[in-house]
């Protein structure tokens, strides 16, 4: 009987730790970029996977951070730079993490903001520091791994 209780205790502890890991560490992902099989860059990106987080994004932030927007489906996406404090590179990815479009140096706006379109279906969008895609030669042929 004592062994059985111990095994149940260990299983409960194990699954509790797995749950806590998901709750406390789901807020960031490691995003790696590869050209011809060689890793050219790796970042930590905040995850925006709820409608509120995606709507807010990096708007109003005083410090720049990378962010990956996770959508529930793949379709044409529209972003804007309203109330941003810095220019960004925006990378649109399809459901398989293939880059479908890159917008370089998207400038902040306050009132009359135009939409920045993916022009192709995308399910993920990464906002990066301005110049990142040029500095690391990120193109539509670059492979992306999100962990």
- The predicted-structure confidence for 61-75, as pLDDT tens digits, reads as follows 888 899 999 999 999
Instruction: For domain 27-146, give the CATH number.
Output: 2.60.120.1140
Predicted model pTM:
0.80
pLDDT at 62: 87
Any idea where the domains of the chain sit in the sequence? 27-146
Q: What is residue 20's predicted lDDT score, i.e. its pLDDT?
A: 39
Going by their DSSP bridges, the two strands 38-48 and 28-35 should be labelled as antiparallel
The mean pLDDT of the chain is 88
Q: What pLDDT was estimated at residue 25? A: 42
The per-residue DSSP string of 66-120 comes to: -EEEEEEEEEEEEE--BT-SS-EEEEEE-TTSBEEEEEEEEPPBSSSPPPEEEEE
């Amino acid at each position: 009987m004592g062994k059985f209780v111990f095994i149940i205790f260990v299983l409960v502890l194990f699954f509790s730790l797995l749950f806590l890991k998901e709750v406390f560490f789901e807020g960031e992902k490691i995003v790696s970029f590869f050209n011809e099989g060689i890793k050219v860059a790796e970042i930590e990106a905040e995850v925006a996977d709820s409608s509120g987080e995606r709507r807010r994004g990096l708007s109003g932030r005083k410090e720049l951070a990378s962010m990956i927007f996770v959508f529930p489906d793949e379709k044409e996406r529209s972003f804007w730079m309203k109330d941003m404090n810095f220019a960004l590179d925006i990378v649109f990815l399809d459901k398989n993490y293939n880059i479908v479009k890159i917008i370089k140096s998207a400038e902040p706006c306050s009132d009359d903001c135009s939409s920045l379109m993916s022009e192709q279906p995308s399910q993920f969008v990464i906002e990066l520091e301005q110049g990142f895609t040029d500095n690391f030669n990120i193109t539509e042929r670059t492979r992306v791994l999100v962990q």
